[in-house]
Structure 1
């Protein structure tokens, strides 16, 4: 019975993290990749079908597989993520021209995201 409850909780959490990751594609304040990694971890413990669906996804599958295998990212992925963060936060900051305190908060969040993104170890083999 306890096993079934844990499995259901992991399934629900995986779904929440997956949806949050999807929302993070369009909202700059939510980073997509960490939520997809969390979703994959939860699905690995609850639903092999959903776990495989994430690992086989054509957009994020290879990055998730690499993360599960090595806990690394490709430099190209980091660069792409950096550009997305910079562009999306710049748009948000431009929209909030009348609220400088919100702009400073967004700049701070962007810097924290970039700091943690670039602390992730890089894959030794770029062609992996």
Structure 2
């Protein structure tokens, strides 16, 4: 019973992550890639057929395998993420939010951008 529940929870996380990744493909503020990577990871724990489907997907598969094998991120994805974070930071400056948010969120995004650009490329 315990094993079946654990497998069910991994599957639920995989499906939820996959749904969020698909929403991220059409919603500009929701990142698709982290949720896709999370879906593949969760599927590897409890749904081998879904993991195989993701790894063999013509569009997503090579990127997931590259991330798993080398922690690599395509240069195009790095540029896109950097541009999107910059646009978000600029828009945030014109929003009526506390100064701590206007400074803190861009600082976090800058940290993520630095980390991202230090990743190998595929």
Task: Give the TM-score normalised by structure 2.
Answer: 0.73
Q: Is the 8 A contact 2:82 2:113 kept in 1?
A: no
CA RMSD, Structure 1 to Structure 2 (Å) = 2.6
Structure 2 counterpart of 1:6: 6
CA–CA distance in 1 between the matches of 2:66 and 2:92? 37
Equivalent residue of 2:108, what SS?
A: helix
Poorly superposed stretches of 4+, deviation over 4 Å: none
Count of aligned pairs? 117
Task: Give the TM-score normalised by structure 1.
Answer: 0.70
Distance 1:84 1:21, change over 3 A: same
Q: Deviations over 1:62-118 (max 9, x none)?
A: 0112233x23315xx0x2222112222233234334338344334213212213323
Equivalent residue of 1:105, what SS?
A: helix
Q: Is the 8 A contact 1:89 1:106 kept in 2?
A: no
Q: Is the 8 A contact 2:55 2:61 kept in 1?
A: yes
User: Which 5+ residue runs of structure 2 have no aligned equivalent?
Assistant: none
Distance 1:119 1:32, change over 3 A: farther
